[in-house]
């Protein structure tokens, strides 16, 4: 049972809800991700994917670890060498050449330690990032990696620049004497990192000054658990799924919303889940002719079940064969979904996307069993999105 005029749907409280279906360019998906800290990269394989950008505070942890490892490691080494000197080399030297030798050796050692400190302080990050593919020990522990802004691995020059310019990022230095009572001559500064913090918050990709100069970003490279599809123990879910008209193809954005909801519903109390589900379930059930007293949560579960478990998508067996099977579709012919504007026209080359837009805007919701909108033309439906918002 469908309403004649669906531009004014109403939810259970009687507040009118306006439903519009409209085309959005695939690129505008970016708009829906404004809060996400991701960076889109296009690779030579002609595929674009998102990197997750690292924020300032995670990076501070990595930097702290790096300082601990580099300087701690260095001074640990120095201490061992010093012990070696005191107990082995110096007694030998004093036996052979007397005090003058001991003095000379100690001086040489101290000089080398000073040079070593310089090298470790300025070049630890450079060497690590160049030779370990954009990772230092601290970044490896915290699952981060430095990459170029174009998505490629960094090279030695970039690694050097970004580590040199760290000096600016840790400014201004806070004199230690300002924090604790110390002799004025003991002029050690603690890095406040304010310049870096401010610059990072101004840009989109959390680049500090060194990153801006070198053209790099720091991304998270975490291992994500492969998510499984939800399974439902409730027998009513498949039964209810049967009731959803087979001709109805949900727009991609609606599928996304429902999948997100299903992923999270287990963390919500039952009433809250039902309340959230209601926003979408009420108009949708009305549209599809499901009894309005159906449980909202159950309905969305059924919708999810139908979309992912029972409905056929437009991929046919054998369309693409896989590495195990030998033949593989070359990368150049794989369409890039995010950039293929109007890619939905594959099914009906004769029609312009605008005409489909108007068609979808008027008809998708009104008549889901519209013969023009067959299931196999799912890519067209994917491109559209259902936007439901409350009118004032």
Would you count residue 144 as binding another protein (CB under 8 A)? no
Residues 161-190 as x/- pattern, contact with another protein by CB under 8 A:
x--xx-xx----------------------
Would you count residue 202 as binding another protein (CB under 8 A)? no
Residue from 25, 74, 137, 151 touching another protein (CB under 8 A): that is 151
Residue from 69, 78, 113, 141 touching another protein (CB under 8 A): that is 113
CA distance 117 to 121: 6
Would you count residue 215 as binding another protein (CB under 8 A)? yes
H or E element, residue 191: strand 189-191
Would you count residue 242 as binding another protein (CB under 8 A)? no
H or E element, residue 104: helix 99-131
Closest approach, Cβ 315 to another protein, in A, equals 5
Would you count residue 201 as binding another protein (CB under 8 A)? no
Residue from 59, 139, 145, 287 touching another protein (CB under 8 A): that is 145
Strand ranges across the sheet with 144-148: 38-42, 48-53, 216-220, 144-148
CA distance 9 to 19: 7
Closest approach, Cβ 5 to another protein, in A, equals 30
Using the structure block, give the residue that is written with the tokens 């054998």. Answer: 318
Token pair of 322, please? 């896989």
- Report 39-78 residues binding another protein (CB under 8 A): 41, 43, 45, 47, 49-52
Q: Which letter does DSSP use for residue 34 in this model? A: T
Beta strands 173-175 and 189-191 are antiparallel
> 298: closest CA among 233, 230, 229, 237?
237
Stretch in the footprint of another protein (CB under 8 A) among 5-13, 146-154, 348-356, 365-373:
146-154
Closest approach, Cβ 11 to another protein, in A, equals 25
Q: What are the distances in angstroms from CA 282 to CA 294, 326, 334, 368?
A: 9, 48, 38, 16
Residue from 312, 354, 390, 391 touching another protein (CB under 8 A): that is 312
SS3 24: coil
- Report 87-106 residues binding another protein (CB under 8 A): 100, 103-106
CA distance 141 to 384: 42
Would you count residue 21 as binding another protein (CB under 8 A)? no
Residue from 192, 222, 247, 358 touching another protein (CB under 8 A): that is 222
- Report 334-363 residues binding another protein (CB under 8 A): 334-337
């Amino acid at each position: 049972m469908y309403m004649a005029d669906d531009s004014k749907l109403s939810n259970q409280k009687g507040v009118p809800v306006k439903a519009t279906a409209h085309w959005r360019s695939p690129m505008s998906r970016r708009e829906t991700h404004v809060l996400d800290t991701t960076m889109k990269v296009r690779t030579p394989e002609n595929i674009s994917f998102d990197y997750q950008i690292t924020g300032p505070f995670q990076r501070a942890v990595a930097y702290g670890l790096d300082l601990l490892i580099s300087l701690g490691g260095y001074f640990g080494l120095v201490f061992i060498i010093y012990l070696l000197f005191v107990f082995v080399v110096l007694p030998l030297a004093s036996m052979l050449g007397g005090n003058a030798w001991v003095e000379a050796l100690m001086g040489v050692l101290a000089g080398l330690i000073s040079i070593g400190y310089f090298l470790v302080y300025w070049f630890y990050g450079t060497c690590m990032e160049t030779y370990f593919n954009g990772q230092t020990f601290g970044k490896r522990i915290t699952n981060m990696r430095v990459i170029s802004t174009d998505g490629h691995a960094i090279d030695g020059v970039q690694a050097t620049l970004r580590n040199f310019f760290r000096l600016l990022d840790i400014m201004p230095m806070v004199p230690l004497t300002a924090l604790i009572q110390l002799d004025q001559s003991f002029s050690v500064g603690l890095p406040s990192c304010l310049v870096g913090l401010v610059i990072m918050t101004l840009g989109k990709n959390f680049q500090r000054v060194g990153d801006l100069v070198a053209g790099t970003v720091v991304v998270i490279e975490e291992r994500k658990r492969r998510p499984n599809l939800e399974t439902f123990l409730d027998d009513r879910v498949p039964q209810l799924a049967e009731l959803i008209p087979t001709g109805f193809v949900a727009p991609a954005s609606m599928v996304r919303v429902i999948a997100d909801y299903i992923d999270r519903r287990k963390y919500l109390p039952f009433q809250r889940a039902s309340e959230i589900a209601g926003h979408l379930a009420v108009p949708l059930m009305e549209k599809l002719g499901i009894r309005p007293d159906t449980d909202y949560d159950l309905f969305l579960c059924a919708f999810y079940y139908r979309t992912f478990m029972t409905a056929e998508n437009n991929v046919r067996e054998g369309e693409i064969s896989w590495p195990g099977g030998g033949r593989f579709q070359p990368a150049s012919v794989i369409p890039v979904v995010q950039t293929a504007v109007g890619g939905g026209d594959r099914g009906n080359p004769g029609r312009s996307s605008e005409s489909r837009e108007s068609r979808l805007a008027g008809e998708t919701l009104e008549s889901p069993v519209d013969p023009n909108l067959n299931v196999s033309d799912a890519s067209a439906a994917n491109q559209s999105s259902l936007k439901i918002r409350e009118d004032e």
